[in-house]
């Protein structure tokens, strides 16, 4: 399974600095560095706008946080290949990033 980051529609904000790491072809990790304590909500949606998975929903302290989606839905079932949308909400800032899941 390969997760490819395609597009990021986000402006630089005061809460976090995003660092994408590309390594092993079977994984794609994203590191998020928080610069202050803020609520963080990260979820994955399919092309129809349905919630597929919630990756994080908590208040985080400053620091570096790796993020990786395992390609599974809320019921821990593998999802189909296709385009998904990861919604990042950090404090009052929101960004959406399209990802393509290829099996």
Give the tens place of pLDDT for each residue, 29-58.
Answer: 566 678 888 899 999 999 999 999 999 999
**More reliable by pLDDT, 69 or 22:** 69
The answer to whether the beta carbons of residues 1 and 71 sit under 8 Å apart is yes
Does position 2 have pLDDT exceeding 70, yes or no?
A: no
Share the mean pLDDT of the chain.
Answer: 75
Q: What is the pLDDT of residue 29?
A: 57
pTM for the whole thing? 0.70
Q: What is the pLDDT of residue 102?
A: 87
The answer to whether the beta carbons of residues 54 and 101 sit under 8 Å apart is no
> What confidence tier does 16 reach under pLDDT thresholds 50, 70, 90?
very low
Sign of the Cα torsion 47, 50, 53, 58 reads positive
**C-alpha 103: how far from its chain's center?**
18
Give the CA dihedral 50, 100, 12, 62, nearest 10 degrees: 80
**The tokens of 1 are what?**
């399974």
**C-alpha 44: how far from its chain's center?**
7
User: Domain map of the chain by residue range?
Assistant: 2-102
Q: What is the mean pLDDT of residues 11-26?
A: 38
Q: Which CATH number fits domain 2-102: 1.10.132.20, 2.60.40.4070, 3.30.70.260, 3.40.140.80?
A: 2.60.40.4070
Does position 8 have pLDDT exceeding 70, yes or no?
A: no
């Amino acid at each position: 399974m390969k997760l490819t980051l395609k597009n990021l529609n986000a402006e630089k904000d005061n809460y976090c600095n995003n660092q994408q790491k590309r390594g092993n072809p079977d994984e794609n990790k994203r590191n998020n560095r928080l610069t202050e304590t803020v609520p963080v909500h990260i979820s994955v949606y399919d092309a129809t706008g349905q919630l597929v998975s919630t990756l994080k929903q908590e208040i985080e302290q400053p620091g570096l946080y790796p993020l990786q989606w395992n390609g599974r839905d809320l019921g821990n079932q593998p999802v189909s290949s296709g385009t998904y949308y990861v919604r990042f909400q950090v404090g009052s800032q929101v960004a959406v990033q399209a990802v393509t899941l290829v099996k």
